[in-house]
């Protein structure tokens, strides 16, 4: 089969032929239809310090996907040939304290699909049945391909109740933009999102942000005055991984404010703990998705009218992977989807 592979310890990827996997006991063979490019894939493609520490070549990349079940191994139940599926990219041990307690998203031995084991940037993928999500209702294939990051956004956005609340999101990447749409769908009064990319801020407006602020030309203080906010934001969602963004968020939270932190910083982040203590703020780290409560919420919200499709801005065939990665790295995009049924797609497809 064709697969996009990190063949050596260094920059770059190669589209090459590798053996088609076979499903073992409790496993499912999936024909991949679409995949999404994640920031993790960019790290691995460029072979930065994190990738060099974490990844062992050769490796098939990719963990965001939708596909069709073509074969099931012995012992698989409730999943059938022909089912349309996506998959949870965190592979857990099933034996640690949290797994046994039903908190699999907190597994201490989690390994990543397309990071520690061969992933979804290929024509076929094998996945444990416990990681397979069957789409029981109609869903657009491109949207189904990005259920993994959509799940990050849902997990973050619904970590705290947002109904009637004023929400601040720092970082208008694809997950931040989807979080803005989710917060509005869940009843937030105001959703303010900050970034420095005019392209992505405009996308965030299309997805439902009340205010999309370029922090180079405006301030949160001005936005709060415009929205007649007297005490600060109720809920914060930190998506950027930037120390200055988290510090600004802490400073702008109202008493009792709650902050969900998804962005991964590259260095130490000093936080004004005096403000955290005296305003009784809550900070909660977010990693991945709750298995599978988040996935249920994702599907239900789409059935209820939530539209995240504007976040998908570019589509490529699998042979156009270099162009797809270059576009993703440019930042002048939302989510990028690769079609694994066609080698090339016309411009603007």
Q: Would you give per-residue pLDDT tens digits along the chain (349 residues)? A: 999 999 999 999 999 999 999 999 999 999 999 999 999 999 999 999 999 999 999 999 999 999 999 999 999 999 999 999 999 999 999 999 999 999 999 999 999 999 999 999 999 999 999 999 999 999 999 999 999 999 999 999 999 999 999 999 999 999 999 999 999 999 999 999 999 999 999 999 999 999 999 999 999 999 999 999 989 999 999 999 999 999 999 999 999 999 999 999 988 899 999 999 999 999 999 999 999 999 999 999 999 999 999 999 999 999 999 999 999 999 999 999 999 999 999 987 7
Secondary structure (H, E, C), the chain? CEEEEECCCCCCCEEEECCCCCCCCCEEEEEEEEEECCHHHHHHHHCCHHHHHHCCCCEECCCEEEEEEEEECCCCCCCCCCCEEEECCEECCCCCHHHHCCCHHHCCCCEEECCCECCCCECEEEEEHHHEEECCCCCCHHHHHCHHHHHHHHHHHCCCCCCCCEEEEECCCHHHHHHHHHHHHCCCCEEEEEECCHHHHHHHHHCCCCEEEECCCCCHHHHHHHCCCCCCEEEEEECCCCHHHHHHHHHHEEEEEEEEECCCCCCCCCCCHHHHHHCCCEEEECCCCCCCHHHHHHHHHHHCCCCCHHHEEEEEEHHHHHHHHHHHHHCCCCEEEEECCCCCCCCCC
Verify whether residue 135 is a known catalytic residue: no
- Annotated catalytic residue, options 20, 25, 35, 43: 43
- Annotated catalytic residue, options 16, 20, 35, 40: 40
Domains delineated in the chain: 2-146+308-339 (3.90.180.10), 153-285 (3.40.50.720)
Verify whether residue 25 is a known catalytic residue: no
């Amino acid at each position: 089969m064709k697969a996009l592979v990190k063949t050596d310890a260094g920059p770059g990827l190669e589209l090459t032929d590798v053996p088609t996997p076979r499903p073992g006991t409790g496993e499912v063979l999936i024909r991949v239809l679409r995949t999404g490019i994640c920031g993790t894939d960019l790290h691995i493609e460029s072979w930065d310090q994190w990738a060099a520490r974490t990844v062992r070549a050769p490796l098939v990349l990719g963990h965001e996907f939708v596909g069709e079940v073509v074969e099931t191994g012995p012992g698989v139940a409730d999943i059938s040939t022909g089912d349309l599926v996506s998959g949870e990219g965190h592979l857990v041990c099933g034996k640690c304290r949290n797994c046994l307690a039903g908190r699999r998203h907190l597994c201490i031995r989690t390994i990543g699909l397309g990071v520690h084991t061969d992933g979804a940037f290929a024509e076929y993928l094998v996945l444990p049945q416990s990681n397979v999500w069957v789409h029981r209702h109609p869903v657009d294939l491109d949207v189904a391909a990005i259920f993994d990051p959509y799940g990050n956004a849902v997990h973050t956005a619904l970590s705290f109740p947002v109904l009637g609340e004023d929400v601040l999101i720092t970082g208008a990447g694809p997950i931040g933009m989807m979080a803005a749409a989710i917060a509005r769908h869940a009843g937030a009064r105001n959703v303010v999102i900050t970034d420095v990319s005019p392209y992505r801020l405009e996308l965030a407006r299309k997805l439902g942000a009340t205010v999309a602020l370029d922090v180079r030309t405006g301030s949160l203080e001005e936005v709060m005055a415009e929205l007649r906010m007297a005490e600060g934001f109720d809920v914060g969602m930190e998506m950027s991984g930037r120390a200055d963004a988290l510090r600004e968020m802490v400073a702008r939270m109202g008493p009792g404010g709650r902050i969900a932190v998804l962005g991964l910083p590259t260095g130490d982040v000093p936080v004004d703990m005096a403000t955290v203590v005296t305003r009784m703020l809550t900070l909660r780290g977010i990693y991945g998705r709750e298995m599978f409560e988040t996935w249920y919420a994702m599907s239900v919200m789409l059935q209820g009218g939530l539209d995240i499709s504007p976040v998908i801005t570019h589509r490529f065939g699998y042979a156009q992977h270099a162009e797809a990665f270059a576009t993703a790295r440019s930042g002048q995009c939302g989510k990028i989807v690769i079609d694994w049924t066609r080698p090339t797609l016309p411009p603007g497809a």
